[in-house]
Amino acid sequence: QVQLVESGGGLVQAGGSLRLSCLASGRTFSTYGMGWFRQATGKEREFVAAISRGGSITYYADSVKGRSTVSKDNAKNTVYLEMNSLKPEDTAVYYCAARTSGSYRAETTGELYPYWGQGTQVTVSS
């Protein structure tokens, strides 16, 4: 099974930036499809960003498009989510997810990701 460990969350002022990291286990990380999801208190989990297996395709939720970047560093077995112009509504627990099979699209559906990290809290103050 793939192990995922998120880091980089914390408290940031509105308008600021964060870079979240997700360290993955495995020898074939470059073939993993990766996703970022978040869940705010009292709300359902929602898709944030994804990068395809192979890393050539990215996709973003409308709520973060234009101010977020998902990327991979295969040498470090790490996927990143950079978020700029943070808003209070970005406050949530952010989860990294991985899949090792399936499509070569940037998948947005959480059910397609078998492996999940424990999450990292992002709090954006006003």
pLDDT tens-place string over residues 95-126: 999 999 999 999 999 999 999 999 999 999 99
Tell me how far apart the alpha carbons of residues 81 and 22 are, in angstroms, rounded to a whole number: 9
* pLDDT confidence of residue 84: 98
Contact, 7 vs 20, CB < 8 A? yes
CA 25 to chain centre: 16
CA–CA distances in Å: residue 118 to residues 37, 49, 87? 12, 17, 23
| Confidence at residue 93, expressed as pLDDT on a 0 to 100 scale | 98
Return all residues near 43 (Cβ < 8 A) that are at least 6 apart: 92
Residue 79's nearest CA partner among 62, 64, 102, 97 is: 97
* Tens of pLDDT, residues 6-62: 999 999 999 999 999 999 999 999 999 999 999 999 999 999 999 999 999 999 999
